[in-house]
Amino acid sequence: MINMKFYFTLLLLFSVLGANAINIDSLLLDFDRVIESRSEYTAIKEGKIKEKEALFNIAHSKALQYSICTSLYEEFLPYITDSAFYYAEKKLALASELNDKSLIDQSHIALARIQGTMGMYAESAQLLQSIQSSKLSEANKLDYYRVCRAVYGAMSDYVTADVYKLKYNKTTELYRDSILAITPKESSDYITAMADKLILKESYLEAIALLEKQYTDFLPDSHGRAMVAYRIFDAYSKVGMDEEALYYLILSSNADIKSSIKEYISLTRLSLILYAKGDIVRAYRYLTVSMEDALFSNSRLRKIEVANIYPLIDSAYRYQVDQQARIMNQFLIGIIILSIFLFVMFVYVYLQMKKLAQIRTELKKTNVKLQHTNIDLQHYIESQQELNHSIIETNHIKEEYIGYYMGLCSIYLAKLENYRKSLCKIASNGKLEELYKTIKSSQFIEDELKDFYINFDVTFLRLFPNFVAQFNELLIDGESVVPKNEEQLTTELRIFALIRLGVTDSTKIAHFLRYSISTIYNYRVKMRNKAKGVREEFESNVMKIGLNE
């Protein structure tokens, strides 16, 4: 019977996994976008809180105030612990004014719960011990057991002495059994407590099957779903199914961010796992978000958890950045060496051409001498043939060099040569006025600048093919900048392309693009005014536009 139950659990488990069709890379890419949009979810959360605070301020009865206060407490509990603590005390004060024992008990339990969340374990345990569980209502009794299980479980996790850890584990187990005893088997509390018990008994697959069913009972992107997903992750980790564990850890983190939860552990654990897998950049980005949220919620426990691993991931990230910088420096040195090499080759070809011109001059002199003597005619003819053969070889060498090295020289040098020839031709014809007019004209420079900017645009867009699209995502709707040619940039895009390359000084940008500093400044201010979100962060967001991956 036990074997049949085990095999049934395995079958159910693998059928669920097949339906999930785990794709970690795709899931992480989606989650990256969620991380980028977390400010939007926070705004929604703040809107809900402000509405409830407004209702609290206009509530006329103590009972209604207590109800709204309870709702605000639940909103702040995983969001800002100090505010949750404030409303827990407010609940207790209102309950005392109402002189309702059930509400007073409920408020004491709520206060003990937030104390445990804030790491005030001694205060929380003392308050819980002062409550007579036998005199609690059924609803309060369940809340009491929940909080006791959570507080003593946390104390067991963070205490170092084995004797206390064993003591707290036994206490946690007693309260877990109490929950199982008073809740229906189909209830969420029963399933959660039973899954914890199965995990402690190392019946991981049974626990996973139970939690998989519970996972779908919660609304998508809810805090409840995030907690169930984290428990599934924990079970998968213990059974050694790392990919499945990572899948549910990402789902848990995703739900936490979308529900604007700030007091969490999932994203911190995800950062540590990604660090172990070598995804340093993403691990650093996620851990930074965890640190920001821990500071925002003022959760001392979460701040300690993040602080313990932050130096490890931060040092790895800094090392990777330094490595990339060294590679870029090596690449720059290589470009400089190649440029020097091309210049040397250009000088060499030029000198060879001068030698060839001298040879041709000598050949003409020799031909004149050959015409004045018949005695050495045959010798001169043979010498001329040999010399002609030498010239052919020299020409062949010249063509090989020009064909090879001129291909390495910039097109700009060829244009300078053509320009010089046109000036020489005008000068040789004696057209001094036309020569002066040509020299005075800026058309050549303008044409070269145009080609230079086109080459700059093409090279930049090869490095950053998605730059235009990602740049427009930073702008408010209807303010997109779309170039007429897909391989060219507008002036605005060219300014921010330079900023993306690290040229942030307006003077340097103005010099590069041949605009006034005030024009560049006005362009930058104009685009910042069209930016989504905080305008002061617009240019820093442009700097985050990545290379094609």
DSSP letter (8 states) at residue 476: P
Round to whole Å and give the CA distance between 187 and 356.
Answer: 97
Count CB neighbours of 246 within 10 A. 22
Q: Return the pLDDT at 44.
A: 92
- Pick from 205, 207, 188, 187: which is nearest to 197 by CA? 207
Give CA–CA dist 129/110, Å, rounded.
14
Angle at which helices 223-239 and 242-258 cross, to 10°? 160
Cα gap 286→270, rounded to integer Å: 8
Inter-residue contact 235 to 199 (CB < 8 Å): yes
Residue-wise pLDDT tens digits, 423-481: 677 777 776 676 667 676 667 777 777 877 887 888 888 888 888 888 888 889 888 88
Q: Which residues, in sequence order, are bridge partners of residue 475? A: 531
CB burial of residue 209 (10 Å; 0-12, 13-18, 19+): buried
Phi, psi for residue 280 in degrees, rounded to 5: -65, -45
Kindly state the tokens that stand for 492.
């605005």
The C-alpha atoms of residue 363 and residue 288 are separated, in whole angstroms, by: 77
Q: Are 279 and 242 in contact (CB under 8 A)?
A: no
- Alpha-carbon distance 120 to 300, whole Å? 10
Would you say 467 and 460 are in contact if contact means Cβ atoms under 8 Å apart?
A: yes
Distance CA 502, CA 497 (A): 9
**CA 45/CA 72 separation, integer angstroms:** 11
Check: CB of residue 277 under 8 Å from CB of residue 239.
no
The first and second tokens of residue 263, run together, are 């007091």
| CA-closest candidate to residue 440, choices 426, 455, 429 | 426
Find where tokens 């004060």 sit.
93
Dihedral angle at the C-alpha atoms of 75, 81, 86, 90, nearest 10 degrees? 40
DSSP state of 546: P
Tokens representing 172 are 């946690």
Nearest Cα to 12, choosing from 155, 281, 208?
A: 208
**Widest distance between CA atoms in the chain:** 140
Give the chain's length.
549
What is the rounded CA–CA span in Å between residue 279 and residue 32?
13
CA distance 61 to 382: 124
**Selection from 502, 483, 501, 504 nearest residue 493 by Cα:** 483
For residues 419 and 404, the answer to whether their CB atoms sit within 8 Å is no
- Residue 409: exposure state from Cβ atoms within 10 A (0-12, 13-18, ≥19): middle
Chunked into runs of 10 residues, the chain (549 residues) has average pLDDT values of: 44 45 84 92 93 92 94 91 93 93 93 89 90 89 92 83 86 90 90 89 90 88 90 91 93 92 90 91 91 85 79 76 69 78 81 82 72 64 54 39 37 61 73 68 73 79 86 87 81 88 88 89 89 86 73
Domain boundaries, the chain: 321-429, 446-543
CA 176 to chain centre: 40
Mapping DSSP onto H, E and C, the string for 501-545 reads CCCCCHHHHHHHHCCCHHHHHHHHHHHHHCECCCHHHHHHHHHCC
Contact 232, 212 (CB under 8 A): yes
Report pLDDT for 288. 92
Q: Alpha-carbon torsion 449, 451, 454, 456, what sign?
A: negative
